Amino acid sequence: MPQDTRFAAVLLAFLGGALDVFCHIRFKTLLATQTGNIILLISDLKPDSWQMTLIKCLSIVFFSLGFVLGIWAKRRARTAYWRVWLLLPLLFCTAIFPLFLHASSALSVSLLGFGTGLMMLTFTGSHIEAYPFTILMTSGNYRRMLTAWYDYFSGERDFAVLMRALSYATVVVSFICGGLGVSVLERVVGDYALWVVTVALMILLVYYCVAVYVDGLEERDV
């Protein structure tokens, strides 16, 4: 399937790192990694930091709303292009953020969280070819990578184990590259660093649409 290729996995991991690092720098909250966001919310729960508490709550609430809406849309999908429509809100928000949304942290986090929730649902269950992986975050992929390398070096030195280890290493490195890239760019161009996410999303959308068309999957719910 188009969403299960190595190229799509690299883009999704890159997007996860870039989104979370940018939002942590800019808003002191996370979007893709909501478990980490809940930990940050609890640890920063102080009477004099109610604004940061509100931002984190908005991230959790709107991410959840986006994810639930994504479930509703997925169950009513009739063509393979349903993923394209669910990615458009995040694409639009990241594109206009440096121009119009940067003045309001609450509105920005709400819209970006909603779009991220849609995207998380859209590609949940994706694979790196034959290997399942977690999109937009890397903790699960990191554990699988360590397990695969252990299996390989402890005696199971066959090609399948090596490919599994390399596949998970690829998405972990992509996640790190997305975070590092946005971190460096944010210091140079400020909020315009978020356009890295916009460009990556556009590449993912074009790639997915072309793959669906070439493989003749337009009328299938993939």
Output the pLDDT for position 47: 64
Mean pLDDT of the chain: 82
Output the pLDDT for position 199: 92
Enter the tokens of residue 42: 């609890």
* CATH architecture of the domain with residue range 6-215: Up-down Bundle (1.20)
Q: Is the pLDDT of residue 139 over 80?
A: no
Cα separation, 180 vs 164, whole angstroms? 25
Output the pLDDT for position 54: 83
Q: Which tens digits make up the pLDDT trace of 13-49?
A: 888 889 888 988 888 888 877 777 788 778 777 766 6
Three-state secondary structure along 68-122?
HHHHHHHHCCCCCCHHHHHHHHHHHHHHHHHHHHCCCHHHHHHHHHHHHHHHHHH
Average pLDDT over residues 157-179: 84
In what helix (H) or strand (E) does residue 64 lie, and over which residues does it extend? Answer: helix 50-75
Q: Which tens digits make up the pLDDT trace of 47-63?
A: 666 777 888 888 889 98
β-pair partners for 128: 131
Q: Is the pLDDT of residue 221 over 60?
A: no
